[in-house]
Structure 1
Amino acid sequence: MVKEQYRETDVAKAIENVTFGLMSAEQMRKQSHLHVICRDLYVQDGSRRQVPFGVLDHKMGTSEKENNCETCGRALADCVGHYGYVDLELPCFHIGYFRLCITILQKICKSCSCVLLTEDVKSTFLDSVRRPGLSYLHKKSLNKKINEKTKKMSLCVYCGAKNGVVKKCGLLKIIHDKHKQTGRSVNPCITEFLNSFEEVKTSNKEIASLLPKTQEMLNPLKVLTLFKAIPEHDIPLLLMNTSVSHPEDLILTRILVPPICIRPSVVSDIKSGTNEDDITVKISEIIIINDNIRRHKTTNAKMPMLMDDWDFLQLQVALLYNSETSGIPLSMQSKKTMRGFSQRLKGKQGRFRGNLSGKRVDFSGRTVISPDPNMRIDQVAVPIHVAKILTYPTRVTPANVELMRKLIMNGPDVHPGANFLEQRKTGFKRFLKYGNKQKIAKELRSGDLVERHMMDGDIILFNRQPSLHKLSIQAFYAKVMPHRTFRFNECCCNPFNADFDGDEMNLHLPQTEEAKAEAITLMGSKSNVITPRNGEPLIAAIQDFITAAYLITQKNVFFDRAKACQLAASLISGTDTSERIDLPPPCIVKPIKLWSGKQIFSLILKPNKACQVKANLRIKGKNYSNNEDLCCNDSLITSVIYSIFQSLCFTTVS
């Protein structure tokens, strides 16, 4: 299927901004189409039917071609998928917001949930936070100042409760050390409380390890209760937008079950079963632990059993979002590694780098590169073998119908030819290697689509990895030639940081006229001669070009007529094959006619009298002595320097 050109539609509204927030449990329920409650995946009767209200219920979409979605009724290619949700029996920390939870707990009272600031300081900060147009750096600075103020408050000014340090303790556990001395000041109340245990320690050393228990464990249920009780007018001091999020949404009481299309079941022929996705397995495990906790609550099981299941539920929910969570106890570690949501997005193989920014594509080729000074700086020599495989879709018109017939007659094996023909009336694509080519060419009609071979003049994208800056991929014109390597002018090596010691480069063939126009205009090599970093020329004479220019323009270099004509003739190449070259009068007549290298070099700038190029430039070099053209150091540079730039950057030189 050929990519259609992008056409902008009439937009009724313009997007002003995008705001990101937290999904509440109620929003998750409204977005979902199914409440997932069953722990089993398939019905245990051998029919391989999905369990209703299970993790693979077809109300959330389908991953099979033969079954349609039960919510929208569409097939696999059309259904976008639908969400489900699982209610957690006990709240859990979100692994992504765990650090933020600790920060908020440090700011609020662990008894009345008010922000640990006096009223006058609150009003000052509220005025700053509500200021319109506040930048990210200003918000970051304000947040830091509020943190510093709240850390110094050991007593709540509203309820008088003691507040100490809140910190992480182990895997996804938070403790509140309310009696720890904070700052340089020593609170006499805390000191008296700690000293009251000294007599007990001396009389009974066995209970010394148990007293005093000054640390309070903040489990997710306690944290959720505190976050719900935060006054509405204090939430802006936490740098949160009340219209899109609330602190209680940081604690998970309900999790979304993603559509089946992003976690498909792969049928295994060897085991006569299915291989389930990691996400499916992990959600199934969460439902199983949920059921265990529900059973413990109804049967009034012992608290240690309930707490162990709660910790395990907390771990499984964390692994669902980030499977690389560190600090997992050996007893809870899984034998098989899995990929959570975070691993699907980040890294080289993630969605962004692996599937969006860089991906495997059609109409591309890769082979070794080699130098060819006969190529223009906007040309790349493409092997015939590659040109026969890479095709460009061309619509048949009265202007090109004869050419398209000729290409169809050549077929896939003869260049230039064509590989496929898509008829406009039937939409049927035909491979031209088989069938009667004469009959197909005769029946060719306007509107048919011919996928022809790459030809001279086609616009291609040339890229060398690693792509470190935008100039690592540029647009060139293709020149189909024999042999098996991509060839281009050595002057173009700098943008790609390429050399010819075995480097390989990628070639892409754009598939629409719009893409070709954009590529050559924005990414063309002639449009990127100068680097945008500092204005230095990137495409310029290098190595043997510089050496040859220096050697041929020395004052003691002369050529006889045969050599001069040979060098002058070598200037003709490519589109300049019909160019007339007027050999200037020799600079030495007797005893033999000799032409200087400077005269030959000047022909690059102005090959004949009819040429419109005019240059007027005189520069004294650093070794200039006197007498201008008769300088003993030959250090007076005239318009020849302009011809050097013109020839090496924009003209073919053999």
Structure 2
Amino acid sequence: MVKELYRETAVARKISHVSFGLDGPHAMQQQAHLHVVAKNLYVQDSKRTPVQYGVLDRRMGTNQKDAECASCGKGMNDCIGHYGYIDLQLPVFHIGYFRSVINILQTICKNPMCARVLLSEKDRQGYIPKIRNPNLSYLARKALRKKIQEKCKKMSLCPHCGEINGVIKKSGLLKISHEKYRNKKPDQAMLLELAELSKGMEYSKELTNIPLTGYSLNPQEVLRLLESIPGEDIPLLLMNQDLSKPSDLILQRIPVPPICIRPSVISELKSGTNEDDLTMKLSEIVFINDVIMKHKLSGAKAQMIAEDWEYLQLHCALYINSETSGIPINMQPKKATRGLVQRLKGKQGRFRGNLSGKRVDFSGRTVISPDPNLRIEEVGVPVHVAKILTFPERVHPANKEMLRQLVCNGPDTHPGANFVQQQGQSYKKFLRYGNRMKIAQELKEGDIVERHLQDGDVVLFNRQPSLHKLSIMSHRVKVLEHRTFRFNECVCTPYNADFDGDEMNLHLPQTEEAKAEALVLMGNKSNLVTPRNGELLIAATQDFITGAYLLTKKNVFFRHDEACQLASTLLASTDISMRIDLPPPAIMKVSDKECENFANRPITVQLLGGS
């Protein structure tokens, strides 16, 4: 199937704004098509049918050519994929938002009945107008959030309920401790609270250490605190409550991505399939979920459920970021996997590897060479490249005959054409096969001919690393023999190119609009001066300056034949047939008699004021 280059929208739309927020459990459920509960991947049969309500359920899309999506009924190429979700038996910390959760806990009262921001009424009234300023920049908002947090961290007593608030800090992998009595001496109130905590529990060393080390806040307690934050206090956390709530920072539900982004690869060596890392991790999360539910129902020990909870916490963290550090030795995974973070970050990730820099059609790459005979806006392209790169030209009365000739030439003769797409048809005719003469005669206005790259076509020329705007500019093509891209040495500076084996990329714009934009905005002649400081970047260098100096020295003279040869080397492209009238020579060879006459001639001097 031929790739679609671009699709014109039927309606003109204008984007007013883009906003980022957190998906809460309710939003995840609304976007999903399926509640995933089954831990097995396939039914035990010969066809390897995915288990219903499992992580490979066909309702989330398909990655097989012969299977259709059970949600939309489309095949692998057309189905965009559908989400599912997993309900976690116990809430867990999101490893990406863990720092944000700690920052919020340091700002609010740790009494679930209060959970107000630890600011006095006077401070609150001072900050609210600043926060409501719609023109506040991102950096200013960040600084304001830091200022509020610093003020709240100094408050040991809540100004609203009088509750003691200690130090909140990270204590191990995805653990938060609250050192409530860090700066307090033991008193009656503290002893009563400890007695309340120890009720129904056997005596343990941990309880006696609480005054010194503090106690751990599990995700459920943190969730209760975040849910208790009053609506009027959320702006003081610099959060937009229309888009997300603080409680959304804790994971209670996990979205299951469509199958098309985590396809199963059928192994030819051994029977079965190789599953994607995300699929296996989601399957493990469902399995641990199942274990926790069984332990809850059977009334297992609290310690056992706590271990399961920690295991669930770890796997949810590894699913998001598989390079999580600080994992205990007994819980470390057997083999390294790639989490969601690893798919996005780094050189091979989605942004740098697949969006910013990617392998594209209608481009060429080869070694570069100098060619001082080319104009500064020209690039010499090998015939071999020119036969492969094509431009889709629409037939109209002005170019009909020319395109007919190109179709007759076919793909192997330059200039020629590779494909013809007739108006109203979705497929293309490859001109290597079939009767080219017949296709040429049948050309109608509106048909599209994918013709070879020709002299004068606009192309984008780029050298990596592209460090500034001028690392990619548009040139006009000059199709030449041999195997390298060639351009004038004067254009080396913006590309930072030299000819010791450098390679450069050439991209052929595929629409008239793209060609016009490239020529006007990125044109080589439109970028002679750097926008950084107004310095000339494309100017005469090296041999040109030396040659100009040597030619224009006062004691340099040329014979008639040498002057003609120099003049002819300056003529190129359209100027090749230009007629040049040489000026009279500076020194003329004359006979002795003419010399005598010249010497005896009277000299007339005209002064400025008169004769």
TM-score (norm 2): 0.89
Check the 8 A contact 1:3/1:511 in 2, yes or no: no
Deviation at 1:349, TM superposition (A): 1.6
How far apart, CA to CA, are the structure 2 residues paired with 1:581 and 1:320?
A: 76
Partner of 1:598: none
Matched residue SS, 2:465:
coil
How many aligned residue pairs are there? 575
Out of 151, 154, 157, the position equivalent to 1:149 is 151
Does structure 1 residue 161 correspond to structure 2 residue 160? no
Seen in structure 2, the aligned counterparts of structure 1 residues 393 and 208 have a Cα distance that, compared at 3 Å, is closer
Does structure 1 residue 250 correspond to structure 2 residue 252? no
Higher mean alpha-carbon deviation, 49-58 vs 152-161, is at: 152-161
Matched residue SS, 2:64:
coil
Whichever residue aligns with residue 491 of structure 1, its letter is: C
Matched residue SS, 2:106:
helix
Deviation at 1:188, TM superposition (A): 5.9
Check the 8 A contact 1:5/1:512 in 2, yes or no: no
How far apart, CA to CA, are the structure 2 residues paired with 1:155 and 1:325?
A: 35
Check the 8 A contact 1:3/1:512 in 2, yes or no: no
Partner of 2:210: 213
Higher mean alpha-carbon deviation, 97-106 vs 240-249, is at: 240-249
Partner of 1:85: 85
Check the 8 A contact 1:2/1:511 in 2, yes or no: no
Partner of 1:174: 176
Higher mean alpha-carbon deviation, 534-543 vs 512-521, is at: 512-521
Out of 135, 138, 148, the position equivalent to 1:136 is 138
Seen in structure 2, the aligned counterparts of structure 1 residues 249 and 192 have a Cα distance that, compared at 3 Å, is closer
Partner of 2:98: 98
Partner of 1:332: 331
Seen in structure 2, the aligned counterparts of structure 1 residues 560 and 308 have a Cα distance that, compared at 3 Å, is same
Partner of 1:559: 558
How far apart, CA to CA, are the structure 2 residues paired with 1:244 and 1:125?
A: 21
Does structure 1 residue 368 correspond to structure 2 residue 370? no
Partner of 1:123: 125
Matched residue SS, 2:392:
strand
Matched residue SS, 2:577:
coil
Partner of 1:227: 226
Partner of 2:448: 449
Deviation at 1:159, TM superposition (A): 2.9
For residues 346-365 of structure 1, the C-alpha deviation after alignment (integer angstroms, 9 at most, x for no partner) is 21222222222221111111
Deviation at 1:193, TM superposition (A): 8.0
Whichever residue aligns with residue 583 of structure 1, its letter is: L
Check the 8 A contact 1:322/1:340 in 2, yes or no: yes
Deviation at 1:6, TM superposition (A): 6.6
Among all aligned residue pairs of Structure 1 and Structure 2, give the percentage whose two residues are the same amino acid: 61
TM-score (norm 1): 0.83
How far apart, CA to CA, are the structure 2 residues paired with 1:314 and 1:291?
A: 14
Partner of 1:351: 350
Whichever residue aligns with residue 388 of structure 2, its letter is: I
Partner of 2:549: 550
For residues 494-515 of structure 1, the C-alpha deviation after alignment (integer angstroms, 9 at most, x for no partner) is 1110000111111111222121
For residues 216-250 of structure 1, the C-alpha deviation after alignment (integer angstroms, 9 at most, x for no partner) is 10110110111111122211111111111111111
Check the 8 A contact 1:460/1:477 in 2, yes or no: yes
Higher mean alpha-carbon deviation, 526-535 vs 404-413, is at: 404-413
For residues 188-220 of structure 1, the C-alpha deviation after alignment (integer angstroms, 9 at most, x for no partner) is 6689989xx9xxxxxxxxx99984322110110
Partner of 2:36: 36
For residues 618-654 of structure 1, the C-alpha deviation after alignment (integer angstroms, 9 at most, x for no partner) is xxxxxxxxxxxxxxxxxxxxxxxxxxxxxxxxxxxxx
Does structure 1 residue 70 correspond to structure 2 residue 70? yes
How far apart, CA to CA, are the structure 2 residues paired with 1:162 and 1:249?
A: 26
Seen in structure 2, the aligned counterparts of structure 1 residues 32 and 452 have a Cα distance that, compared at 3 Å, is same
Seen in structure 2, the aligned counterparts of structure 1 residues 539 and 156 have a Cα distance that, compared at 3 Å, is same
Any unmatched runs of 5+ in structure 1? Answer: 182-186, 198-206, 593-654
Seen in structure 2, the aligned counterparts of structure 1 residues 328 and 299 have a Cα distance that, compared at 3 Å, is same
How far apart, CA to CA, are the structure 1 residues paired with 2:493 and 2:121?
A: 63
Seen in structure 2, the aligned counterparts of structure 1 residues 399 and 18 have a Cα distance that, compared at 3 Å, is closer
Deviation at 1:442, TM superposition (A): 3.5
Higher mean alpha-carbon deviation, 507-516 vs 492-501, is at: 507-516
Structure-to-structure mapping, 1:167-316, within 5 angstroms: 167-181=169-183, 211-214=208-211, 215-316=214-315
Any unmatched runs of 5+ in structure 2? Answer: 195-203, 592-611
Deviation at 1:41, TM superposition (A): 0.9
Higher mean alpha-carbon deviation, 135-144 vs 479-488, is at: 135-144
How far apart, CA to CA, are the structure 2 residues paired with 1:376 and 1:146?
A: 62
Does structure 1 residue 490 correspond to structure 2 residue 492? no
How far apart, CA to CA, are the structure 2 residues paired with 1:71 and 1:507?
A: 43
Deviation at 1:523, TM superposition (A): 1.0
How far apart, CA to CA, are the structure 1 residues paired with 2:156 and 2:101?
A: 19
Seen in structure 2, the aligned counterparts of structure 1 residues 138 and 191 have a Cα distance that, compared at 3 Å, is farther
How far apart, CA to CA, are the structure 2 residues paired with 1:93 and 1:427?
A: 51
Partner of 1:408: 407
How far apart, CA to CA, are the structure 2 residues paired with 1:220 and 1:54?
A: 26
How far apart, CA to CA, are the structure 1 residues paired with 2:432 and 2:474?
A: 31
RMSD across aligned positions (CA): 2.4
For residues 438-488 of structure 1, the C-alpha deviation after alignment (integer angstroms, 9 at most, x for no partner) is 333334343333222211111111111111112111111111111111111
Higher mean alpha-carbon deviation, 549-558 vs 519-528, is at: 549-558
How far apart, CA to CA, are the structure 1 residues paired with 2:404 and 2:432?
A: 15
